[in-house]
Amino acid sequence: MRSPIFDKDNHRDPSTDRYVLESSKLLRVGMGPEIVAQKGAMVAYRGHLDFAHQGSNGFGNFLKKQFTGEGKNLMRVSGQGEAWLAIQAQEIFLMELENEGLTLNTDHVLAFDATLQYEPRMLGNAGLMSGGLFNLEIGGSGMVAVVSDGTP
């Protein structure tokens, strides 16, 4: 396969780091260990990668995801190679968690290390039946790539 997108000269950062911003709106992830990414975020890939729907990690999380919608639009990416990820030309920001947690709206999650734990959480004092606010809580040690409609 030939395309200028794969030329070494077009890599913004020739780094061998796992997560590299090719631009403020395009992330290159070197595969090996699995990642979890937003469905539809894959722009291109090279190598032998598998893209699969991310399961619910247990019956309790299955019920939460069905009710809240948080975490339903995630896929697991595994294999060897590289994947380029982006979401609607939004700005990408990398955050490295060091045995800590982060709460995000799933729409703003681009990708994260599959070794991180995650689950939907209700925020605030609103009850489930009143349509409380739900987000995705991600925790542990590893990298998280988030997107925003500009600088947060």
Give per-residue pLDDT as tens, 52-68.
976 544 444 444 444 44
Q: What's the chain's average pLDDT?
A: 82
Q: Tell me how far apart the alpha carbons of residues 72 and 56 are, in angstroms, rounded to a whole number.
A: 8
pTM for this model (two decimals): 0.77
Stretch 72-82: mean pLDDT: 90
What does each C-alpha distance from 108 to 64, 66, 111, 125, 145 come to in angstroms? Answer: 19, 19, 9, 23, 9
Q: Tell me how far apart the alpha carbons of residues 102 and 50 are, in angstroms, rounded to a whole number.
A: 27
- Closest listed residue to residue 111, CA positions, set 141, 140, 76: 76
pLDDT in tens, 19-36: 999 999 999 999 989 999
